[in-house]
């Protein structure tokens, strides 16, 4: 007789794996530790995921979806560029896994970072460019703005903001909020409204 399925098995595995990735790093994490954290057997993990790498891929997909949902919730309907930037920065700062992904943090993501093809980064950049072009086509951003240049500038500012604490030391919430607001104000200079 087959064993009964564990309710929410995939979610439980991913929750346990995310906790381990953030506390110990992907390279140090074992499938046995994930199974223990999820309260299931190691075989159940392998029934859901063929390899440890597949777990990290699923974590990053889930994190990207979570980030998109958070940005949409924070930005609201038909946001301006400055509102969208602020929402994205706040959502990223509140999500340790996605911050690690954006910063290519080898301490969290391990050897996976160096194995990533440049296409992943170009795809992320292309999504930002497409968002800016969409805002431009809807008359929300001035026509004289180069979407590629603006996307690069905003992405660079975001990466700098996410990594600021590692260079400058601990930053309190008020200081981070002020920096996000400042970059948002800079982005507003490209808006038509």
Cα(24)–Cα(22) distance, integer angstroms: 6
Q: What is the pLDDT at residue 21?
A: 95
Tokens 């951003």 — which residue? Answer: 141
Q: What is the pLDDT at residue 104?
A: 80
Cα(16)–Cα(169) distance, integer angstroms: 29
**What would the mean pLDDT of 47-53 be, rounded to a whole number?**
93
CA 23 → CA 9, 17, 61, 96, 168, distances in Å?
21, 10, 19, 10, 22
Q: Of the given ranges (56-65, 105-114, 133-142), which has the lowest mean pLDDT?
A: 105-114
Tell me the pLDDT tens digit for each residue of 53-88.
999 989 999 999 999 999 999 999 999 999 999 999
| Dihedral angle, C-alpha 157, 165, 97, 184, nearest 10 ° | -30
Q: What is the pLDDT at residue 166?
A: 80
Query: What are the residue ranges of CATH 1.10.10.60 in the chain?
Result: 1-50
Percent of residues, the chain, with pLDDT higher than 90: 64
Percent of residues, the chain, with pLDDT higher than 70: 93
Tell me the pLDDT tens digit for each residue of 147-179.
999 999 998 898 888 888 888 888 788 888 899
Residue with the bigger pLDDT between 120 and 138: it is: 138
Q: Of the given ranges (1-5, 48-52, 133-137, 180-184), which has the lowest mean pLDDT?
A: 1-5
Q: What is the pLDDT at residue 76?
A: 94
Tell me the pLDDT tens digit for each residue of 89-108.
999 889 999 988 888 888 88
CA 61 → CA 40, 58, 71, 178, 188, distances in Å?
22, 5, 15, 30, 30
Q: What is the mean pLDDT of the chain?
A: 89
Q: What is the pLDDT at residue 116?
A: 67
**What would the mean pLDDT of 25-30 be, rounded to a whole number?**
94
Q: What is the pLDDT at residue 146?
A: 96
Cβ–Cβ under 8 Å, residues 125 and 158? no
66: tokens are 């979570």
Cβ–Cβ under 8 Å, residues 158 and 164? no
CATH of range 1-50; options 3.40.50.10800, 1.10.10.60, 3.40.640.10, 1.20.1260.10? 1.10.10.60
Q: What is the pLDDT at residue 103?
A: 81
């Amino acid at each position: 007789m087959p064993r009964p399925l564990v309710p929410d098995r995939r979610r439980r595995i991913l929750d346990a794996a995310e906790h381990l990735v953030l506390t110990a790093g992907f390279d140090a994490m074992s499938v046995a530790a994930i199974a223990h954290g999820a309260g299931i057997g190691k075989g159940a993990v392998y029934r859901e995921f063929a390899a440890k790498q597949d777990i990290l891929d699923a974590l990053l997909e889930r994190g990207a979806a979570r980030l998109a949902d958070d940005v949409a919730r924070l930005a609201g309907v038909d946001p301006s560029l400055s509102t969208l930037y602020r929402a994205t920065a706040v959502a990223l700062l509140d999500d340790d896994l996605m911050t690690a992904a954006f910063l290519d943090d080898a301490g969290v993501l391990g050897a996976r970072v160096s194995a990533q093809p440049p296409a992943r980064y170009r795809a992320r950049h292309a999504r930002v460019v497409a968002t800016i072009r969409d805002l431009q086509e809807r008359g929300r951003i001035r026509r004289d703005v180069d979407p590629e240049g603006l996307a690069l500038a905003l992405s660079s500012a975001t990466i700098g903001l996410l990594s600021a604490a590692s260079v400058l030391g601990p930053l309190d919430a008020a200081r981070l909020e002020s920096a996000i607001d400042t970059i948002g104000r800079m982005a507003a200079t490209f808006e038509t409204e």
